[in-house]
Structure 1
Amino acid sequence: MDHFSTEPNLHEALCMVRTCHLITMLEDCLYKAKRHKLHCSKVLVPKELTVRVAQEVLKLSSNEPCGLRGCVLYVNLEAQNKKINLGKLVYDSAVEPTFELSLLLKQDIQTWDYFRDLINRTCFPNFFQNILKLSPKFMLAKKRLYFSVAETGTDDF
């Protein structure tokens, strides 16, 4: 078997495993925040939102010294003009963090509020009040926790 023909498949498999692990971590964070921080019965997550977030996190970690293992991800939600801290995800706690990512999820209020109000007034009053719907849009900000020699502008020791 040719070594070079299997290498791309190994890289793809490793990326898939990391993506799946990140997705699980994000979903677990949302599940825990549902009752304890958001005080709702359900969180509706748009299709592929966690996949897109995980892929973007992987992309932002690709040029870091420890890669994804050096990442700390802060998950926040903007809802009703308030920012709520949902959790802190550490991909590998055995590695000293080299960068932080701040994820900002947003509540989808445009179509959901109209739909929820319409249903509540007609068929199922109070049934949908404890449901939070997330927007498919998100923001991800990166902060490095180190400085390279090139960034400091000094090369003398």
Structure 2
Amino acid sequence: MENSTEVETKKEVMKMVHKFKTTFQRLLSRENQNVIETDYERKESNTENDKETVPQKDWISLFEDPNEEAKCKQFAKHIEDGLKEAREKHLKCEILIPCGLTMRIARDILIMSESEPCGVRGCSLTIHLQEKSKCSELVKVQYDPSTVSTFEIHLTLQEDTRHFVSVRKMMMQLTGCFKHSTYRSTPKMLCQAYKLEKQKLYRATC
């Protein structure tokens, strides 16, 4: 049995490792703050052992500052509200969002906004949806409407078009998962991949 001292030591070591990992991730992100693009899951399985990858929820304990975590959660809520608006006005179908996706997006946006004059408060976000060869603009979201936008970020989400996803959606419809939905169109399921592109809305002075 481990005594309390050993347990506390292990906790401290894990905390230091996580802090180092977070710092390293932030440094990598700062090297190219204008574009952040995630990897897309494999569309086809080559072996029987290949399984759908599950994203790590690094965002849960990413922020040591509670205020930064609160900003992240607030922006994630704005993104989700924006997608609800797009669902009602444009798509006319249910949108299935992977667990943790909006928090990871919000985390990356906060990192991209660190060098901006007003920080994340000056962010204007435009959300796009990539559907096979078609990319359409869905909605615009502003973190703080009372602050003049100093930079714009274009978020491109991707619909998951893998075969097993289509089967899963069909099964969900057959089992009545959407029986209370007001939409009759086939729901859209987003994948974990996304792209963020930043554009400044001001001219930097020397």
Normalising by the residue count of structure 2, what TM-score does the alignment of the two structures yield? 0.60
Pick the aligned partner of 1:141 from 194, 197, 205.
197
Alignment of 1:4-83 (within 5 A): 12-40=65-93, 42-83=94-135
How far the C-alpha of 1:82 sits from its partner, in A, is: 1.8
Q: Quote the Cα distance in structure 2 between the aligned partners of 1:127 and 1:16.
A: 32
Q: Quote the Cα distance in structure 1 between the aligned partners of 2:105 and 2:177.
A: 30
Q: Which moved more, 1:27-36 or 1:46-55?
A: 27-36
Report if aligned partners of 1:37, 1:86 keep a CA contact under 8 Å in 2: yes
For 2:147, the equivalent position in structure 1 comes to 95
Instruction: Report the residue type matching 1:124 in the other structure.
Output: L
Unaligned runs of 5+ in 1: 1-10, 151-157
Report if aligned partners of 2:150, 2:201 keep a CA contact under 8 Å in 1: yes
Cα-to-partner distance string for 1:24-53 (whole Å, 9 max, x where unaligned): 11111111211321121x211111110100
After the TM superposition, which parts of structure 1 deviate over 4 Å for at least 4 consecutive aligned residues? 125-129
Report if aligned partners of 1:72, 1:97 keep a CA contact under 8 Å in 2: yes
Unaligned runs of 5+ in 2: 1-63, 179-184
C-alpha RMSD of matched pairs (Å): 2.3
Report if aligned partners of 1:105, 1:134 keep a CA contact under 8 Å in 2: yes
SS, match of residue 28 in structure 1: helix
- Residues paired across the two proteins, number: 136
Q: Quote the Cα distance in structure 2 between the aligned partners of 1:30 and 1:94.
A: 21
Task: Identify which of structures 1 and 2 has the higher relative contact order when contacts are C-alpha pairs closer than 8 Å and 6+ apart.
Answer: 2
How far the C-alpha of 1:130 sits from its partner, in A, is: 1.8
SS, match of residue 148 in structure 1: coil
Report if aligned partners of 1:39, 1:130 keep a CA contact under 8 Å in 2: no
Change (3 A) 1:80 1:37: farther
How far the C-alpha of 1:114 sits from its partner, in A, is: 4.2
Report if aligned partners of 2:155, 2:194 keep a CA contact under 8 Å in 1: yes
Report if aligned partners of 2:169, 2:187 keep a CA contact under 8 Å in 1: no
Q: Quote the Cα distance in structure 2 between the aligned partners of 1:82 and 1:114.
A: 22
How far the C-alpha of 1:115 sits from its partner, in A, is: 3.7
Instruction: Report the residue type matching 1:105 in the other structure.
Output: L
Q: Quote the Cα distance in structure 2 between the aligned partners of 1:71 and 1:125.
A: 41
How far the C-alpha of 1:79 sits from its partner, in A, is: 1.4
How far the C-alpha of 1:126 sits from its partner, in A, is: 10
Q: Quote the Cα distance in structure 2 between the aligned partners of 1:137 and 1:24.
A: 19
How far the C-alpha of 1:75 sits from its partner, in A, is: 0.7
Alignment of 1:123-134 (within 5 A): 124=174, 130-134=186-190
Structure with bigger strand share is 1
